[in-house]
Amino acid sequence: MLFRIFSYFKFLLNASNQHGVHSPFVYNFVTKGLYKKGNINIKLKDFNFDEALSKKEEKILKKIIKYIKPTAILTNLKNESARLNKEINLLYFNYLEENIIINVSKQYPNSFVVIRAIHQNTSSEKSWIQITQLQEATVTIDLFYFGLIFFRKKQAKEHFKIRT
């Protein structure tokens, strides 16, 4: 618990809002997705998300889904990989695995990954840092509660820390 609190303060010192973002893709995502106010009528239980999500995590996840509008939302890649298509897919993981990220980027380049609890402990934070350095992960966004990975071929590799 102490690690997570220290990690949060460290995150706040380095994170920015929409004014620190110089990528049009990420700027639109932040301003029109994450910072947009209003009710979102998405039921996360319909997609088998982890029941232990906090209210803040649920709110952020709903905003991500509403803005990106994925064609498929998968929470268990091993059991549901047949449902993936070449359109935009959201792949949700409770833990970090570098091998899965590399495979997803090659097989489903239009997908994006949401990883929960990237600052839970030292090992998850180290794994997140390693994933942000992967060549396949062109745009990575650290929201403290979640890490987002986008595989955008026509964009320079960038990493952002955004306050929510």
The residue ranges of every structural domain in the chain are 2-161
The pTM of the full predicted model, rounded to 2 decimals, is: 0.86
Q: Return the pLDDT at 135.
A: 84
Does residue 80 sit in helix, strand or coil?
helix
Q: What is the average pLDDT value for the chain, to the nearest integer?
A: 83
Tens digit of each residue's pLDDT (9 = 90 or more) over 2-22:
888 888 888 888 888 887 788
Task: Mention every residue, 6+ apart, whose C-beta is less than 8 A from residue 89.
Answer: 70, 71, 72, 73, 74, 108, 110, 111, 112
Which comes out higher in pLDDT, residue 132 or 101?
A: 132
Pairing of strands 112-116, 89-93: parallel
Average pLDDT over residues 130-142: 88
Most confident listed range (60-64, 75-79, 105-109, 129-133): 60-64
Average pLDDT over residues 139-146: 94
pLDDT band at 159 (very low <50, low <70, confident <90, very high): very high
CA distance 118 to 96: 8
Q: Return the pLDDT at 31.
A: 92
Tens digit of each residue's pLDDT (9 = 90 or more) over 41-86:
888 877 777 678 889 999 999 999 999 988 888 876 655 555 555 6
